Structure 1
Amino acid sequence: MKIGLFIPCYVDQFYPKVGIATYELLQKLGCEVHFPMGQTCCGQPMANSGYQYLTKGCDANFIANFAEFDYIVCPSGSCVLHVKEHLHDQKQEELAAEMRKKVFELTEFITDILKVDSIDGNFPYRVGMHVSCHGQRGLKLSQMTELNAPFFSKPEQLLHNIKGLDLVALSRKDECCGFGGTFCVTEEAVSVKIGQDRIRDHENHHVDYITGGDMSCLMHLEGILKRQKSPIKTIHIAEILNSMEN
């Protein structure tokens, strides 16, 4: 299958290793992966701030870059959810509607489309899993704890066979990190306080790393960790799944 690799702008600019890990991982799983060089922001920041009408150029550019692929895969649940719910083009609405169905978050694509339930790797550390709100509540990547329903987690399922990885059970496993896109700018104090509370849960469980499927959430937590001079590090789940087994 022919995959279009959709890399969020902040990953491209600040965390290129996440994009590379995603590319390598998909190749290892047998996919033909392409990175369209003309891709830019999906338009989510504007939409989050109430300026959805300003994203028309982003939508047209997204369609131009990704229309040819069988699937579009992205290591960011929030960007995927935005495209799934908001990709439109008056001149190509039928094509836009079809493309909305072909966009997948990385772990969702691996488990639901490739039908891979475990990946061999090596990451000998104690790890806390941060569940992003967009991934959980929008894409249904894992079960919400407030529901009286059987628990599942597509990201956690993929981590279980990683050699040496100790995935801890957090006290509040699906609590928001406080990032919220442009919310962290307009409501800085509230955003930081929520992030500090989220980190405290990981600290109480003595993790070495915090992982997750959204680098935006991890970027927010990483900033707080560095300011607190914490030894805890952040790492995207793609980097763990792409780790080599020894």
Structure 2
Amino acid sequence: MMTQFRRHAAHRLALVFALAGCAVPDQPLSPAEPVLEPGIAAHYAALTDGEIDVPSVPAKYLSERNIRREVDYWTDERPGTVIVDPWQRFLYYILPENRAIRYGVAVGDEGRAFSGTAHIPYSRDWPSWRPTDNMIREFPDQYGPLRDGMAGGLNNPLGARALYLHRGNRDTFYRIHGTSDMGSIGNATSAGCIRMFHQDVIELEGLMRSGARVVVLTEAESGKGTVLPGAPIPSNIPPTATIPPEGGQP
């Protein structure tokens, strides 16, 4: 009798464990983040800039196309020139001997609407920002409280640096600036100019001289400089599907 009782108890216990196994499915393993080269990891590490602690860029945002790279680039522009390709979403800082530093960027509608040449007479560290009158008028609930402006900081849409493009003495209202919306880099966005990782825009500002020349390519010129002069430019423009702005990011 005792043996039969033990046999039934063991059977019930096994059934409980079996049901428990059905009720709790195996959890999928999270994909491992890519392992970064030491130099890349160091460049995108956390840093202190003035009184602001800038977080590191997570490896999941640092795809090969987004990270800072020194690349071949054939152009007649002088070293120190900045070339923006809004359609491939790259910014190039021109170096001597057909080389350039390439940065992945995010580009908004305003960034694709501007082309040609300009210069950067000045930049600002952790600049303040104010939505335009049109933004306030069209989205009063979102932008009305900011009509007096937003102080500089990590939550400010212009981020760590803003580089202001002018033609002659006139502001073009075209900006190259930092962003805390790291997931936007490498993408087209529905609003804004040219966004960069904080670490990249801080480096870029440090490289540039006041009055630096800027060339913004048209869609027809996209890819220019990435191949030898006279060679056909590959039609490798990435998809232009847009992602919405995060927190009113310009």
State the TM-score bracket (shorter-chain normalisation). Answer: under 0.3
Counting helix residues as a fraction of each chain, which structure ranks higher?
1
Bigger radius of gyration, 1 or 2? 2
Counting strand residues as a fraction of each chain, which structure ranks higher?
2
